[in-house]
Amino acid sequence: MNKKALLILPAVLLLSACNEVKPVIQDDAHYALYMYNYPRMVMETPNGMTETADSYIYEKQEIELGKKLVAPANDPERESYEFKGWYKEKTCDNLWDFDNDIAEHSVFLYAKWGVAEGEEYVEPEYTYPETIITDVNYRVTGILNSPLNNDGTSVNLTTAAIGRLKASPSDVSFAVNYERKQDVTLTVATYNPDTKVIHLEVSSGETWDISVIDITASLSIASDNAYYEQKAVKYEKDIDIDNYHIALAGSSSMENWSTSGEDMNPIVTFNHGIGGTTVEQWTDKLLQRLVCPYSPKAVVFYVGVNNIINNNKSGLQTGNALVDLFNKCHDFLPKTHIFYVLINKLPSYPHYQADFDLANKMAIDYAAEHNYVTCIDAGVGLLKDNGLPNFGYFLTDGLHMSKAGYVIWGKAVKDAVINWLGK
């Protein structure tokens, strides 16, 4: 081969989203290579490995060292995205300054992309669906989605719920679950943190004094895993979350979604995912502690993987556990919509796929019969054309998603929530 020839691989073999491999230059010339920097296509090589073509070259320029670069005459294009400039790293941390930066060696420059500007989505204003009754003037049914005890004068609450009451003791009307006659309104709603009593008055004259009982200790998961419990306790300090936002809950794929706030914007969310947790832990304990106190208008769950992989539960057992979770969530939050993100196909766990499929099917069947549940197949975008998971969208463990995976997975979640909000 002529040593002056330039060999540039048209696509780069990515064994992991964490490892960046650049095209190879095998001559003595110097070049600026402008990279598309997004997954334009996915291919499978003859040996079964996966090529993700996010390192395709948009333009190649031979350059003179010690000189400034000349930007490509035309910007690259990407459907539904806006080109934001050429950057020095694949992660797009530092913009190349064509007016001042000098090329001291061959360089790779990467396109940065932003969502194309257009008509901005605005989350519709949420109106709490009240229940109007005629048999009594006003009925208190619970506090922050925990029902009153049988005595009608006390309620069992958790740390987060009590923290919300303490943060606004002179007006805890946001915490009252109720039914009322059309013309009856709540006029006084206070909380005394010393006596632990909620006092309520309504316009028709009735009053209530409701004692608060802290049951957080009975819902601890420390005996299952002390580290998980530490995370739950940390989340319980989030007392400034307003009612009627979107809750994100579940196991590690939800917890690791570090950009969920940005990815779901302008939809307001809060993420209380805890890696390693099971469906039963959310049903029996964490739902009441980390979701119910905030009266979310919708909750998005991704949970069930750990039941099968780490706890040796079958797909049938996991599916039954999901049904219990949906039932419990609806019992406590009857006016909250439930989204369930189906378990992804995972590169490193094909031997569990039959169990994943059965658990997913049971969730889908439940959703078909209950209009308050929607299943989201967010993982379908992580597959190759042959239906197998694309390793480029996962970390090296073949279980957790990479940043590129979250872009696709997160968009599917956002689209489903927006579609529901628009109804």
Structure pTM?
0.74
Is residue 347's pLDDT more than 60?
yes
Q: Which two tokens stand for residue 116?
A: 């194309």
Region 401-406: what's the mean pLDDT?
93
Q: Would you place residue 5 in the very low, low, confident or very high pLDDT band (cuts 50, 70, 90)?
A: very low
Is residue 236's pLDDT more than 50?
yes
- Bridge partners of 35, per DSSP, are 57, 110
Give pLDDT, residue 89: 85
Out of 97-101, 114-118, 242-246, 276-280, least confident range: 114-118
**CB environment 153-175: b (16+ within 10 A), e (fewer):** ebbbbbbbbbbbbeebeeebeeb
Q: Report the distance separating Cα 212 and Cα 207, nearest Å.
A: 16
Give pLDDT, residue 119: 61
Is residue 51's pLDDT more than 70?
no
290-335 residue pLDDT tens: 999 999 999 999 999 999 999 999 999 999 999 999 999 999 999 9
Give pLDDT, residue 117: 57
Q: Are strands 176-180 and 186-192 parallel, antiparallel or unpaired?
A: unpaired
160-202 residue pLDDT tens: 999 999 999 999 999 999 999 999 999 999 999 999 999 999 9
First and final C-alpha spacing in the chain: 63
Q: Which two tokens stand for residue 340?
A: 């369930």
Q: Report the distance separating Cα 161 and Cα 171, nearest Å.
A: 14
CA angle 365, 366, 371 (to 5 degrees): 115
The amino acid that residue 340 corresponds to is Y
Q: Would you place residue 29 in the very low, low, confident or very high pLDDT band (cuts 50, 70, 90)?
A: confident
The candidate with the shortest Cα–Cα distance to 255, out of 283, 294, 280, 286, is 286
The candidate with the shortest Cα–Cα distance to 112, out of 10, 20, 35, is 35
- Residues of the chain with pLDDT > 90, as a percent, come to 77
Give pLDDT, residue 98: 94
Is residue 22's pLDDT more than 60?
no
Q: Which two tokens stand for residue 349?
A: 């766990």
Q: Which two tokens stand for residue 308?
A: 């099968």
The answer to whether the beta carbons of residues 111 and 37 sit under 8 Å apart is: yes
Taken in order 79, 85, 90, 94, the sign of the CA dihedral is: negative
- The CA R_g of the chain, rounded to the nearest whole Å, is 27
Per-chain mean pLDDT for the chain: 89
Is residue 370's pLDDT more than 80?
yes
- Residues of the chain with pLDDT > 70, as a percent, come to 88
